[in-house]
Chain A
Amino acid sequence: MTQGLGQKLYDDCRGVMLGMRSLTWAVSKKVNAWQTLVYVPLENNYEYVS
């Protein structure tokens, strides 16, 4: 059923598809590591910045 609605949305062209993209941040020398959440397009997990 889920795939069926996916197909319907695709066939109906409800929006204007642009694409899937990666998100990029520039970080200063103060930032050694930053474990962000996979797939998530927002800044998060600031407590993991070291």
Chain B
Amino acid sequence: MAINRRTFLKRASAAAAMGAPLVASSRAIAASDRLVVAVGQWGIETPFAWRSSQSEKTLWDCAYDPLIMRDPKTFEYRPGLATEWKPSNELKTWTFKLRSGVQFHEGFGEMTAEDVKFTVEQNLKPDSQGGSAPFFRMHLERIETPDKHTVVMHFKNKVWEVPSNFTQFVGYQNITSKKYVESVGEDKAALHPIGTGPFRHVEGKQGDYHRFEAVANHWRKTPAFKELVIRRIPDPATRLSGLRAGEIDIGNVFGDYLDQAKKAGLRIHETANAACHWMVLQGQTTPDREDYCPSCPWAGDPKDPKSQENARKVRLALNLAVNKKTIVNALWKGLGSDAPFMYWYYPFHKGFNKDWKVPPYDPERAKKLLAEAGHAGGFEVRVNPLVMTYALDGPDMVEAVSLDWEKIGIKVRRVPEAFSNFLPKNRARKTNKTHWVYGSPPFDEPVLAWQRCIYSKGPFNLLADGPYDEDVDTISRDSTPRSGRG
């Protein structure tokens, strides 16, 4: 049954008022000493750097430390497990000096250069699917450990982007205990991660929750709460219910749930301009990939200029058909804007152009463009209304877009699949051309994201990979010193 936007938004509101299961409490620890965070989603739940993407960070960054931290207010680099890092040999060699005396949890000894070497080298394994694994496989030559607090990484090429790969965000080379992983095996180690972070993993249930306890006198900061529980609760109504009942202390709220949280007297914490959202139009990839779709109206045949021109018209039509202001106002409650915008290009990046505005809402022009492109009668698309780590209201956004597309004749087939299942398919470019809403995190420079997300040699396709490979290669190999963020 087709529903209009008003009905859809009304239903979304009603869902928030429904009852929800309670969050389980834990053992003999005072409630005042326990912090319960309700996370909407995480990725594939791996704690390991060589299998990770940013989507695991919300769960595991508390148990691990990166080599380089971030200043929370400026995003600039700060010392982490590495107290200093510097390039030599024309950016082909990077030397990291490590903090001394940092201990792995549960008596697995001091974190040393051997642990850093072990962690980074796991990226070289052919089955390592982590977001940075292609970077290391492509560029890393060898790692030396002249003493227990010095790591020297030798690369085949000039690589200015090394520090970014080791940062708190968006790098994910959290240092793992070599001794632990080698003694119990990777599968077992994944279920009970051992790191050096400010919280020690105690226990957990895959897909549900993980419990941690604070590490005293931690070099980063000794946590104020003795216990941390991180729960995965994708349903916003359930999160709000837990917050109202006092069983959750931190939970993402949005849309009508935001209004309800305010009415319930809950304080709101805001991170301004934290995500750019777009609908990923799958099928725009290279011929060797299963998702490659030259016959898809929005992708076109790369070898046929006319087909490419029509595909661009179709994509513009799909943009013009969507009422972005309604999404900003109704779903995001005005806490966002339809401009400025660009793919991983933030206003704080050098060269950002304020003319990059979101295309206006113009369904009539959208219909004309479809007709010009030979698709006056529309066509069918598949969409996945998934809850993504950075887009917890992904189902609402996908539905809003779908309803608008239907108004210009697009037949939208909704095929829900959980992010944890869908993410590996996205990595393999095997989504069956299924569109979904993504939310981007910030990178030090746009090309660091482009290397990962619009590059056929990168781990993901989050826009289009193939057409821009040459540009990404050229920009990546430009070793002009970066103003950067550290």
> Residues of A at under 8 Å CB distance from B?
1-10, 12-31, 34-50
B55 to chain A, nearest CB (A): 8
Q: How far is the CA of A15 from the CA of B250 in the complex (A)?
A: 32
Task: Return B406 CB to nearest CB of chain A, in Å.
Answer: 14
- Encode contact with A along B323-344: 1 for CB under 8 Å, 0 otherwise: 0100110001001111111110
- The answer to whether the Cβ of B199 comes within 8 Å of any Cβ in the partner chain is yes
Bound CA span A34–B35, Å: 12
Q: How many A-B residue pairs have CB under 8 A?
A: 266
- The residues of A that contact B438 with a CB separation of less than 8 Å are 15
- B271 in contact with A47 (CB, 8 Å): no
Cβ-closest 5 pairs across A and B: A21-B336, A3-B351, A16-B279, A26-B261, A41-B274
For A49, the closest partner residue in chain B by CB is B35
Contacting pair A16 B249 (CB below 8 A): no
User: Are B218 and A21 neighbours in the complex by a CB distance under 8 Å?
Assistant: no
Taken together as a complex, chains A and B put the C-alpha atoms of A3 and B342 apart, in Å, by 11
* B442–A26 CB distance below 8 A: no
In the complex, the answer to whether A47 meets B272 with C-beta atoms within 8 Å is no
Interface with A: B96-104, B134-142, B472-480, which one? B472-480
B342 contact from A9, A27, A39, Cβ within 8 A: A9
Q: Which of A10, A29, A49 contacts B225 (CB 8 A)?
A: A49
Task: Pick from B9-17, B83-91, B444-452 the stretch touching chain A.
Answer: B444-452
Residues of chain A with a CB closer than 8 A to B223's CB: 46-47, 49
A44 to chain B, nearest CB (A): 6
- Determine the residue in chain B with the shortest Cβ distance to A50: B224
Closest chain B CB from A24 CB (angstroms): 5
Instruction: Across the interface, name the chain A residue whose C-beta is closest to B252.
Output: A25
Asked if A6 contacts B274 (CB within 8 A), the reply is no
In contact, B337 and A19 (Cβ under 8 angstroms): yes
